[in-house]
Amino acid sequence: MIPAFYIQLDEFPLTSNGKVDRRRLPDPDGAWTGAGVEYVAPRTRTEEDLILIWKDILGRENHRCKR
C-alpha cells in the first residue's frame, strides 16, 4: 500500500510506555492545508518537464500538491 499523502511531524506523540500514541496523531482527512509550504514555480526547462511527467503519473491537472 502507498499512502495518498504524508504528514510531516516534528515528533511522534508517545504514550507513557514509549509507543506511538495513535489517538493523538493528526487526522489525515484535514491534514493537508498547504500551511507552511511555499509554492516555488519551475525555474528551468528540466523542472517543467518533470512537472509534466509527475502530472501524468499522478493524474493531476494542477502542478501544485493538493489533496
Question: What is the reported pLDDT for 40?
Answer: 84
Distance from C-alpha of 10 to C-alpha of 26, rounded to nearest angstrom: 12
- pTM for the model stands at 0.40
Give residue-wise pLDDT tens across range 11-57: 999 999 999 999 998 877 655 555 566 778 899 999 999 989 988 99
Is residue 3 over pLDDT 80? no
Domain count, the chain: 1
Question: In terms of residue numbers, what domain contains 41?
Answer: 1-67
Residue 16 backbone class (left: φ over 0; alpha: ψ -120 to 50; beta: rest): alpha
- Of 32, 50, 31, the closest CA to residue 40 belongs to 50
Distance from C-alpha of 16 to C-alpha of 20, rounded to nearest angstrom: 10
